[in-house]
Amino acid sequence: MQLRYSFRVYPSAGQLTALARAFGCARVVFNDALRVREEARAAGLPFITSAELSKRLTAVKKTPERAWLGEVSAVILQQSLRDLVTAYRNFFDGLKGKRPRMGAPRFKSKRDNRQSIRFTANAAWRITSGGKLRLPKIGDLKVKWSRTLPSAPTTVTVVKDAVGRYFASFVVETDASEVLPETTPEIGIDLGLGHFAVLSDGTKVDSPRFLRRAEKRLKKAQRALSRKEKGSRNRDKARVKVARAHAQVADARREFHHQLSTRIIRENQAVAVEDLAVKGLARTRLAKSVHDAGWSAFVSMLEYKAARYGRTFVKIGRFEPTSQVCSVCGVKDGPKPLNVREWTCGACGTVLDRDVNAAVNVAKAAGLAVSACRAQVRRALVPAPRSEAGTHPKRPTQPVWEQAGIPGL
């Protein structure tokens, strides 16, 4: 499978200028190609193919108006055209129902929060013996290597985020050498807001609520930004402060997702989760908490890490009544409001924890070998029948520890 590894890079002053020029050229090529296709569509002409766009790019580089496109690597310009092709393909596949619907390709701006360029293998980029990233017509970039790459990368993408940080993102191929040894546990996971994740073995992972904890700092930074005059240098500085505060929240959330997903995949042979309707929940009054949890990103990490390490990953349907069925006897007694966190089964009298019971049902719906006895359940007290109450003489009872064979203290 293909994996992506990102590392922080620190360009020099001259390299910052070269990168800004490369970002601008890639953006212009993308916008020009998009404009040509939109004009052809408006005029009722046939759809312009990718080969035709590539020929026009080669021709326009020889004109005085676009001669400066030759100052950057030709590979990033061709990759910009490929990005437009991918955007159109995703848009049409969404209309056909092959993938979730998304909007039509839009024009890029130099004020976008994210700027990127991509180099493929034929661009003659490489990693030097000194550990620097050598890019054509840009130079040797200093890279902060936090880990080693498992194999030789095929492509590298240089990304500039809203804070002004630069990253080098490598795409590498991995083999089956990283498959973990088999283990026994198989778990189901119930994702929520009170607890981020509840496992079918009774483990509860608290929700960090990174955005909620940073709201005071974000409010202060955003209020300072609103007071700055538009177009001023101070407004740019305030915008960077707001972006940096949001980036800290996103980085902390991503780190939490990575650590938890890695631990779950390493300790369990099979993992089952529920396909949550995140978009629907994001339109309710719980929208901020739903976005703060980041369920979709966490489930995606579980899925690709399970495939990478040889684990089983199962996603059950979102309409499975996991919170309505008793995990002990299997009786369905209807929906319950969210404020009911513990309930008693009317059939078997078991007191069930709502989240743990749902996690066990998720595992059972996925066909995993999970027993309900692993959940945090207990038998409710059953009153004696009226005919038997008070009929037996009282006998002196032994302490509990003596009944169990444990000497008294």
Q: Name the catalytic one among 32, 201, 274, 292.
A: 274
One-letter amino acid of 48: I
Spell 360-390 as b/e; 16+ CB within 10 A means b.
bbbbbbbebebebebbbbeeeeeeeeeeeee
In order, the DSSP letters of 336-377 are --TT--EEE-TTT-EEEEHHHHHHHHHHHHTT----GGGSSE
Q: Name the catalytic one among 32, 186, 190, 292.
A: 190
Is 292 catalytic? The answer is no
CA dihedral 84, 90, 94, 97 (to 10 degrees): 140
Is 173 catalytic? The answer is no
Axis-axis angle for helices 215-227, 233-267 (nearest 10): 160
Token pair of 98 as six digits: 């092959």
Q: Name the catalytic one among 186, 303, 353, 355.
A: 355
Long-range CB contact pairs, 352-356, < 8 A, 24+:
352/326, 352/327, 352/328, 352/377, 353/377, 354/323, 355/190, 355/192, 355/194, 355/195, 355/198, 355/204, 356/190, 356/198, 356/200, 356/202, 356/204
Is 274 catalytic? The answer is yes
Q: Any idea which residues carry the catalytic annotation?
A: 190, 274, 355
